[in-house]
Chain A
């Protein structure tokens, strides 16, 4: 019974820690531009983007295709979880400065 409990605890804890194949993909936002603006991920595998916003203003990482909307405050960073993606191109943008802040996730 105790083992069962421990096992179920482990099972519950896995999605938070072990679901991602690799380390977070580091992306920087500076002068309202993403770098790299092209992010490659493995298809059908969840991934984690660590977005470091070096601008003083907040930005919203927004992508209907990726189903993500995440606000990252100025001069701070935020993590963006990508679900397992079918192969393809998934554009994203910084909603507050959409003229310059554009990028794409490529799953392959």
Chain B
């Protein structure tokens, strides 16, 4: 039962933390709830589909379909998160200058709500398909342990959801004027971690064959598969033994995000009245 609890818990917090950050980043945006709910729903449906076709997916592309699929999903999420941050960087500053922040805050973020819903959907899809496969296996197996495993799974789900809620309400205690910079910082690291993981999937799929040696190993200090390691892995992309390609992807994603945000966020002379 404990193993079932742990497996489900680990997958749920990964998706749940991302949902929490997205919710915090869109505080005050109308209809964000339905967008995020749509993302979660789409993700769950997609997860069931992926689980149903796991076998076919794995055998695609010379047996690397799963890796390619995961890497693509992650890169889509990275693109969406980058767009959100860049958009917020350009419009957040403009809003602050216009001193009508309260009214405009409602409009900000609305533009990228669909992008963030995709991020949520992708996160739920990726982690959810593993939960679906695992739970389906338990149910299909039958026998005496089924109910205890199912109970473990349900407890894991509840614990993961509670943890994600804690994250969300924790973020909300940050004063409103600082929340924006905190969430954009979190989103930058989130995206960088996803980019690094995409590099890992491409490496495992055989699409990248360079820089495959580990740069450092901190598994003695904080193993990545521990609960704290897993949390940090999702939040800031922690890896206990990253290879060169992962580190490079991480740095590149952060650099790209910062450069783009700086470029559009620069207070220029052009008035952007037509919004």
Which residues in A have some Cβ–Cβ distance to B below 8 Å?
A: 15-16, 19, 46, 50, 56-60, 64, 67-68, 70-81, 83-84, 95-96, 98-99
- B55 contacts partner chain A, Cβ-Cβ < 8 Å: yes
Contact B224 A64 (CB under 8 A): yes
Of the candidates A19, A77, A78, the one whose C-beta lies within 8 Å of that of B209 is A19
Stretch of B93-101, B106-114, B133-141, B262-270 with 4 or more beta carbons under 8 angstroms from chain A: B133-141
- B64 contacts partner chain A, Cβ-Cβ < 8 Å: yes
Closest A residue, CB atoms, query B219: A64
Q: A58-B134, A95-B7 are in contact. List 15 more A-B contacts (CB 8 A).
A: A15-B207, A16-B62, A46-B209, A50-B63, A58-B133, A59-B137, A60-B133, A64-B223, A64-B224, A67-B204, A70-B204, A78-B58, A83-B203, A95-B134, A96-B137
Of the candidates A57, A79, A96, the one whose C-beta lies within 8 Å of that of B63 is A79
- B206 contacts partner chain A, Cβ-Cβ < 8 Å: yes
Measured as residues with beta carbon below 8 angstroms from the partner, the interface class of chain B is: 35 or more
Question: B residues within 8 A CB of A74?
Answer: 55, 137
Contact B206 A73 (CB under 8 A): no
Question: B residues within 8 A CB of A83?
Answer: 203, 212, 243
Contact B204 A81 (CB under 8 A): yes
CB distance from A77 to the nearest CB of B (A): 8
Provide 16 A-B residue pairs closer than 8 Å at the C-beta atoms, listed in order of the A residue: A16-B62, A50-B63, A57-B136, A58-B54, A58-B134, A60-B134, A71-B129, A71-B133, A72-B55, A72-B58, A74-B137, A76-B58, A78-B59, A78-B66, A96-B133, A99-B3
Of the candidates B7, B200, B219, B241, the one whose C-beta lies within 8 Å of that of A96 is B7
Contact A79 B243 (CB under 8 A): no
Contact B209 A76 (CB under 8 A): no
Closest B residue, CB atoms, query A84: B212
Contact with A along B180-224 (1 / 0, CB 8 A): 000000000000000000001001111111001100000100011
Contact A73 B243 (CB under 8 A): no
Question: B residues within 8 A CB of A57?
Answer: 136-137, 140-141
Contact A67 B200 (CB under 8 A): yes
Question: A residues within 8 A CB of B208?
Answer: 15
Closest B residue, CB atoms, query A71: B54
Closest B residue, CB atoms, query A95: B7
Of the candidates B54, B140, B212, the one whose C-beta lies within 8 Å of that of A56 is B140
